[in-house]
Copies of this chain bind each other. A is one copy, B any other.
Amino acid sequence: MAGNIYIGEVFRNDEIRRDFFLMKIRLPVQFDRPRPGQFVMARIAGLQDPFLSRPFSIYAYGRGRGGCAIELLYRVAGKGTRILAGLIRGSQVEISGPLGTGYTVDPTKKNIVLIAGGIGIAPLSLLARELRRTNSRAADAVTVYLGARTGEALVGLEELKASCGNVIFCTDDGTLGEKTLVTKAFRRDLKKYDPADTALYACGPKPMIRSLAGLLKDEYVCQVSLEERMACGVGACAGCVVAVKDAAGNKAYRRVCADGPVFNLKDILWE
């Protein structure tokens, strides 16, 4: 079931790195506690240009007396995010959510491995924090692989270090951490992770997800969060689909917003 719609108030909106912003939004207490991997649709009420709402993963969530707050970690990619970036404290933003399915957490697994590319850190960071909040043993057992094009784009690292046992980070150009692709860094360690006792969670650009798919044997279960352009965000328009193998092994299109954004990597069809 879908979430609901609220008027949020911008509490902070800081450029933490060039073109990367962290926005904290105050919401009424009715806003449901999100599961990691869930997202919101955001828009500026009354503004018709850009026309559609924009989807953002929930990066952090907190609850206090009389209200709650979410944080979005976002990169300025185009018109919509540029307008978001211009909002000052006190501005209103329309938030619909929490939406989508989110990650299914299995704390019984010995190894919990997160693989994040660029802004893909947003949903995984909430996952890491929720693991720590609900079960600190699991959090210590978490290993994160975090990669980005360049050091300037490697956001969320401090947060992760605080919540996870083991953080491995790298950049394509070597300006921060090791100079390698995040999937390569992960592959190097792959044999350490027993398929039966490992839960993998990933989010990042399509090429990263695709190369993960090539890397992982069928025994591994890897939950990936996908991105597609969205219109409704609630499963009503069938605009945001991704091709998957259905239960019978046939090709089907699934809605990223309602059937995802988290999918089993094995199910995704690369065409």
On chain B, the residues within 8 Å of A47 by CB distance are 49
A48 within 8 Å of B by Cβ?
Answer: yes
In the assembled complex, the Cα of A53 lies from the Cα of B41 at a distance in Å of: 31
Copy total for this chain: 2
A contact patch SS: loop
In the assembled complex, the Cα of A48 lies from the Cα of B47 at a distance in Å of: 10
**Closest residue of chain B to A88, judged by CB?**
B88
Q: How far is the CB of A228 from chain B (nearest CB, A)?
A: 25
Tell me the residues in window 40-54 of chain A with beta carbons closer than 8 Å to chain B beta carbons. Answer: 47-49
Q: How far is the CB of A100 from chain B (nearest CB, A)?
A: 29
Q: How far is the CB of A163 from chain B (nearest CB, A)?
A: 39
On chain B, the residues within 8 Å of A49 by CB distance are 47-49
In the assembled complex, the Cα of A47 lies from the Cα of B49 at a distance in Å of: 8
On chain B, the residues within 8 Å of A48 by CB distance are 49
**Closest residue of chain B to A51, judged by CB?**
B49
Q: How far is the CB of A17 from chain B (nearest CB, A)?
A: 24
**Closest residue of chain B to A82, judged by CB?**
B46
Q: How far is the CB of A2 from chain B (nearest CB, A)?
A: 27
**Residues of A at under 8 Å CB distance from B?**
47-49
3 contacts between A and B (CB under 8 A): A47-B49, A48-B49, A49-B49
